[in-house]
Structure 1
């Protein structure tokens, strides 16, 4: 166990053990170990996509060799939710691979990840196996063009866990926008979801002379506009999900006369909105909302076919870190960078919420307290910002980005500025080289709404088939 000594710690998360510092401490040991060895991990998908990550491990005889399993397991967990894959091959660490296969097993600690990355998303059994370096498949992770189509009369929508947003856009100019509260998580009737989105589209269409295309963003895994997995629809029984929700966007497209219709993960649209507003690429977008969404635009201007589901990517090595209610794993981003995270910190800060109060209402209560100068509320946002600063350094080990764009309901009001200020302070003090090359951005309230809407509306191209998009919550 490393004694990390983070220079920034919140009293609301005193045992936080940043993955960015933990990994650096482990690699410091590796650099001094004459028996250190290379290791490579590949993640493959049924469509032939392959991602590869190279690292180095302590030699098996090193006194601290027991730390290697924790290092590789947390690394694999991050890679799975960043890039996705149903077949994992590991070269250079056979003894660790055997342990990983037991952990990521229907009877193991990561049974959720085993099922999700296997049959649920990729329709294949999930598998982890040892392989020689020569037997590893070549990296194959092509970029995908996405959005930036502004011509014509378009509708852009965004469906989240607490509201639906919609906008009417004419040649890139927003002529109408609306936000409607809803509560989709535990609604069992598919019509609640389908008719709710359809009603928002109708209200936007009333402000357009015609509808040339419709684009949307939503939390979840979407493959060619088909819903594969999304927490928004967790209340819909499996049979009704298969019958009505899986192809709900095809149903909506038919209602709108078959116009070009494209849906992408909300994190990808966040990153796209940032790229469009900044007129630059190499953007990592993070949305702190009901959950946490991530998206990435490469330096080339393309998105990736990766999952970018940072909500379930680990950022804390504290063995007592909070667990999320979906995967059951601990120390993952969703418990720090979402409405859930704010509510968790707020309870530690001394806020008393009424029994059964919905998390979005808890967030509003904290935001109102911050606006009134309540020091407990400021401590909540400072805790989020400190953890986020260390998380950004961790993300930078996996993404090449120049810009960080922060969005989401958690960032509304003064709280967003507090988060970014504390995160920037962590980067300047702990990771000065990264701070020198990374710019942190948070749009104003109007840009948050309209920028996301324009980016979503720009997804479909007119007069040509839509690209195959595979993106995530």
Structure 2
């Protein structure tokens, strides 16, 4: 395969998506011939700065490849680390291209506005000489893994909400309830569902003669001080309602439950991807864990080699994985080739018609996924092709993620990973990694079936520290 004058030897392509251009291999083989040093630095809150050292060609014949490489690299780093200021150190022309993209009317205007909303800071792109590049500075923090007391764990997914009651580390009750938060504009719909779930779990704890000592919440989106800064989960809620009723939706529900029960209950809210990683770390008793939940979106979290959360966004649903020019567009960000359309129920629904499976496009994505899962349960060859294709996507993308994260284990969770289809995804991904990325030592794995689906809510229960 030749892409932007870069020769990419590819042994494995998805049967249902032969145009797939794995960015993991593009980054790897582009770098082999580049010689001019470049540093990309990303600044976020608290003066934290991540730096990425790389090289570009800086020749006329490779100008398009240089621009594409830096565009995709900046995009990946922003959605991995998060930040409001990007420094391009060592090439003013490439810096100018990034500055133009991350401006009003630019190709990355969505990303600019998103980061400004998260960090409440104007987005900037700065060009610097290579020898004036910023010094890296990162902070990490320990979170979760508390098992004492009686706790509620709540996990807000895009197709179902999950809640667990956990007493002294043992899950005594878990339930899943289908809901449709991404298509509902009334924030009271979301709030009442959240409160109902918490009340259900509280009742199970009270039945055991215990009081509720804490509430942990795992939810898609970006959370700072338990406040929802932005989340696709509440996509249809208008800004006024979002500011008034969504930013504090989980703390409000905890306060209302506290009033009902007659005592104050502490609450901690965390990104669902980080809780997914925490669930994996708790299950394995190890660190250096990436957790990926494949459901309505691709939720990613990361626990570093010391067992800490890095404070990164890890919103890899919106980081690129595919370079093909006609890759599927994400309707939220407006970009193409990003993880959300490959590692979610949207990925299944995208591939199913290509395999000859007719789906009712008027049905919600979760119901269409169930149709494919039903066929998979019957060993339908068309469904097998869907899951094998996702496995090829995953194998290549693990090779990409390994370039940016120190990973010892990747734990796969979520509705898409349920059943035999999830097993096929893992088997195929491992084979692709063996053949394409033998230098990467880990292979994606999955916990048991119940943990795949409700493990996050149980891990969420461990978030608050209670006396």
TM-score range, shorter chain: over 0.9
- SS at structure 2 position matched to 1:321: coil
* C-alpha distance in structure 2 between counterparts of 1:375 and 1:450, whole Å: 29
Tell me the alpha carbon deviations over residues 355-401 of structure 1, each in whole angstroms, 9 at most, x when there is no partner: 40111111110011111121110000000000110000000000001
Which SS does the other structure have where 1:315 is aligned? coil
- Partners of 2:236 and 2:338 in 1: CA distance: 23
Q: TM-score, normalised by structure 1?
A: 0.94
4 and 202 in structure 1: CA distance in 2 versus 1, 3 angstrom threshold? same
Q: Match of 2:241?
A: 240
Partner of 2:459: 455
Tell whether 2:448 aligns with 1:407.
no
2:147 to 137, 145, 150: 150
Aligned to 2:351: 345
Tell me how far 1:24 sits from its aligned partner: 1.6
Structure 2 regions of 5+ residues with no counterpart?
A: none
Count how many residue pairs are aligned between Structure 1 and Structure 2.
Answer: 454
3-state secondary structure, aligned to 1:270: helix
- Matched with 2:98 is 100
The superposition leaves residues 66-117 of structure 1 with CA deviations (integer Å, 9 ceiling, x where unpaired) of 3111111100000010001101111111110001111111111111011111
Aligned to 1:38: 37
List aligned pairs for 1:229-308, cutoff 5 A: 229-255=230-256, 256=258, 257-308=263-314
Conserved 8 A contact 2:415-2:453: no
- Report the alpha carbon displacement of residue 51 of structure 1 after superposing the two structures with TM: 1.1
Q: Over the residues paired in the alignment, what is the CA RMSD in angstroms?
A: 1.3
Deviation at 1:10, TM superposition (A): 2.1
The Cα of 1:336 is off from its aligned counterpart by: 0.7
User: SS of the residue aligned with 1:90?
Assistant: strand
Structure 1 residues 64-79: aligned runs within 5 Å: 64-79=62-77
Matched position secondary structure for 1:80? helix
SS of match in other structure, 1:269: helix
- Deviation of residue 451 (structure 1)? 2.9
- Range that drifts further, 62-71 or 172-181: 62-71
What's the offset of the Cα at 1:322?
1.0
Contact 1:270–1:407, Cα closer than 8 Å, also in 2: yes
Please point out which of 14, 18, 34 is paired with 2:18: 14
Mean Cα displacement is larger for which, 378-387 or 228-237?
A: 228-237
Once the two structures are superposed, residues 282-329 of structure 1 have per-residue CA deviations (whole angstroms, 9 ceiling, x without a partner) of 001111100111000000000111000110110111111111010110
The residue aligned with 1:320 is: 326
Matches within 5 A, 1:191-206: 191-206=188-203
Structure-1 residue corresponding to 2:389: 383
1:157/1:166 contact within 8 Å kept: yes
Is the 8 Å Cα contact of residues 275 and 297 (structure 1) preserved in structure 2?
Answer: yes
Query: What are the superposed Cα offsets for residues 249-308 of structure 1, whole Å, 9 maximum, x if unpaired?
Result: 221232224322001111100100000100100001111100111000000000111000
Query: How far has the Cα of 1:225 moved from its partner?
Result: 0.5
Distance 1:24 1:42 in 2: 20
* CA distance in 1: counterparts of 2:410 and 2:361, whole angstroms: 36
1:224 aligns with 2:193: no
SS of the residue aligned with 2:182?
coil
Deviation at 1:330, TM superposition (A): 0.7
Kindly indicate whether the alpha-carbon contact (under 8 Å) linking 1:174 and 1:450 is maintained by their aligned counterparts in 2.
no
Q: Bigger shift: 222-231 or 449-458?
A: 449-458
The answer for unaligned runs of 5 or more in structure 1 is: 31-35, 464-473
CA distance in 2, matches of 1:227, 1:461: 20
Q: State the 1:54 CA deviation.
A: 0.8
| DSSP 3-state at the match of 2:165 | strand
Separation of aligned partners in 2, 1:46 and 1:218: 21
Deviates more, 1:414-423 or 1:138-147: 138-147
Q: Structure 2 length normalisation: TM-score? A: 0.95
Q: Distance in 1 between matches of 2:407 and 2:415?
A: 23
Aligned CA distance change for structure 1 residues 355 and 129 (closer, same or farther; 3 Å): same
**Aligned residue in 2 for 1:431:** 437
CA offset at residue 234 of structure 1?
A: 1.4
CA distance in 2, matches of 1:239, 1:446: 38
Structure 2 match to 1:356 = 362
The correspondence for 2:167, drawn from 170, 174, 178, is 170
Higher deviation after alignment, 197-206 or 136-145: 136-145
